[in-house]
Amino acid sequence: MNEDQSACSLHPFYTWQQDFYRFSGRLAFITAANQIGKSSILIIKMLNLAMRPELWPSYFGAKTKPSLFLYLYPDSRTGSTEFYEKWEKVYLPKGEMKKHPKWGWKVEFDKQKQVEAIRFNSGITILWRYYTQKASSMQAMSIDFVGADEELPEKLWDEIMVRTSARAGLGSGLVATVFTATLGQDFLYRTMERQGEDDEKFPEAFKRQVSLYDCLSYADGTPSQIFTKERIENDIIPMYSTDNEIKRRVWGRFIKDSGLLYGEFNQTLNTETFDKDVIEGWQVYVGIDYGSGGVHGHPSAIAFVAVDDTFTNAKCFHIWKNEKEATGYSRTTQADLLKKYLELIKTLNIEPHTYYDWHATDLGIIALRDGINMLPANKNYEHGVGLMNSLFRTRQLQIYTGPGSGCTSDVIQEMQTVSTETLKKNRKDDCADALRYALSSCPMRITNKVIKVIEKKPSGPKCKRMRFYAGIDRDPMTEEKEWGEDMDEMLDDAAQLFGD
């Protein structure tokens, strides 16, 4: 037992580990680089709170006596490996200490010989569960502390909130999750990447995005025994092949690039600092997505895209998205949306080609009566998504950012997080839909100007077959040589080519 309350620790803490360990509030989140100790500090915190009753008043309140903890792993195989390699081998008391009245513990296994629970002499039980199990496996529980290792699926998160809510009223019900983001879930994106913004999720929670550079020294000021700046830059960063992998694995950022609807979007390659002069004189295409009202509805969005006269370059320079009221209901009617559209084109001083979601029938009727020129958008989903991915891949579509740009960060968030596995009605893709309507109705021309980067090497002498077929050099039929097997072979090859 150490004075800084880091019992069960075989190594010093980094500052972010120490802060996470000492945090006694209800919700705590860490997104972190790989292999830096995020799982270890969660285990250490849970074991300390399981075996040391003197800490309970600080974490659970003076009147609460905790009894049930829950630890979650992605699957049983991972959980089993972690138990034997970390919990038992490294952190749990060993030898005679396993029978100690305070530090003692025993493990229980289920019928499949997987860890079911760890019961401590202190009176605490840590139940083990897995993301692969149904949410019903946690029903009827009132849980004092939940630890989730790796990204927790949203359906389980909701269940955990229910299972800890009763204990939270007494000062207990803590939930801590440490993960490297791969699923791209919107509620976690808003938790970690939207800090300080209006749509931030869980603003009162403990949050850290931990990079390898946060592990160069320990909390006591001594240098790390594992990481140095030189090792990070010379050995670790070059290991990763993509910018996204570096952001995720080195910087601990919330990045998803597997199973994305707009998988070709690259924030580095497909965003530019706003430059009004570049798009001066370009045609403007507008897409309007009405969305839907109600507590589970989608907000409306309007996207503005400038296109050059060759229809090979497009730059999204403004996106408006209505924010929902505090009640959660969208107050924007179709008449309100049309009014907002007219305000925007007047402010931006443009005469656009405008296309709207024709499911919003009143919008089209109202516009027609008022003499406003707009047409139904091409809503073919596969066409629109495929077109945008192609334009992103060839770098023909850029999203303007920075001062002067009217693009919100929402559109970039959607490009980086909207999953192909999410049902359309549940996708947070309002800005993306508006942008899709604008581009689907524009005669864009896909070029190979970026994809085609391999230089054409000069070819050597052409074979007789190619000379014959292409009429290059002299015609082999007129060569002064006797008819023979060579000529038969050439004619056969030519006939085959013609047939193909």
> For residue range 284-306, what is the model confidence (pLDDT) as tens digits?
999 999 876 544 567 889 999 99
308 with 344, same domain? Answer: yes
Give residue 139's pLDDT band: very low, low, confident or very high (50, 70, 90).
Answer: low
Would 317 be classed as within a structural domain? Answer: yes
Residue 145 lies in a domain: yes
Q: What is the pLDDT of residues 59-113, one digit of tens each?
A: 998 888 999 999 999 888 888 899 999 999 989 988 888 989 888 999 999 888 8
Return the higher-pLDDT residue of 184 and 383: 383
Within 8 A by CB and 6+ apart from 135, the residues are 155, 156, 158, 159
pLDDT of 482 above 60: no
Indicate whether 51 and 170 sit together in one domain: yes
Mean predicted confidence (pLDDT) in 470-484 = 48
Residues 213 and 113 in one domain: yes
Of 407 and 205, the one with more pLDDT? 205
The proportion of the chain whose per-residue pLDDT surpasses 90, expressed as a percent, equals 40
328 and 235 within one domain: no
Number of residues that make up the chain:
500
**Residues 244 and 149 both lie in one domain:** yes
Task: Determine contact, residues 240/250, Cβ cutoff 8 Å.
Answer: yes
Q: What is the pLDDT of residue 320?
A: 92
Q: Is residue 256 domain-resident?
A: no
Structural domain of residue 420, as residue ranges? 271-440
What is the sign of the dihedral through the CA atoms of 213, 215, 219 and 222?
negative
Average confidence score pLDDT of the chain: 82
**Residues 286 and 225 grouped into a single domain:** no
Q: Model pTM?
A: 0.58
If asked whether residues 218 and 353 sit together in one domain, one would say no
pLDDT band at 257 (very low <50, low <70, confident <90, very high): low
What's the domain count of the chain? 3
> Could you tell me if residue 6 is inside a domain?
no
Question: Which tokens belong to 233?
Answer: 């830059």
End position of a domain, from candidates 193, 218, 249: 249
Q: Are residues 341 and 419 in the same domain?
A: yes
- Residue 333: which CATH number? 3.30.420.280
Same domain, residue pair 31 and 138: yes
Q: What is the pLDDT of residue 294?
A: 46
Whether residue 303 is found in the same domain as residue 223: no
Between CA 254 and CA 260, with CA 259 as vertex, the angle to 5 degrees is 65
Q: What is the pLDDT of residue 4?
A: 47
Q: Which residues neighbour 351 within 8 Å (Cβ) at sequence distance 6 or greater?
A: 284, 345
Q: Is residue 212 part of a domain?
A: yes
Residues pairing with 288 in the sheet: 302, 356
* Last-in-domain residue among 200, 215, 249: 249
Residues 245 and 280 in one domain: no
User: What is the CB neighbour count within 10 angstroms for residue 214?
Assistant: 20
Distance between CA atoms of residues 26 and 60, nearest Å: 9
What stretches of 83-136 adopt beta strand conformation (E)? Answer: 105-109, 115-120, 125-130
* CA–CA separation, 224 and 82 (whole Å): 24
- Please enumerate in sequence order all residues whose Cβ is within 8 A of that of 128, keeping only pairs 6 or more positions apart, or say none: 71, 72, 73, 79, 83, 114, 115, 116, 117, 118
As a whole number of angstroms, the distance between CA 418 and CA 410 comes to 11
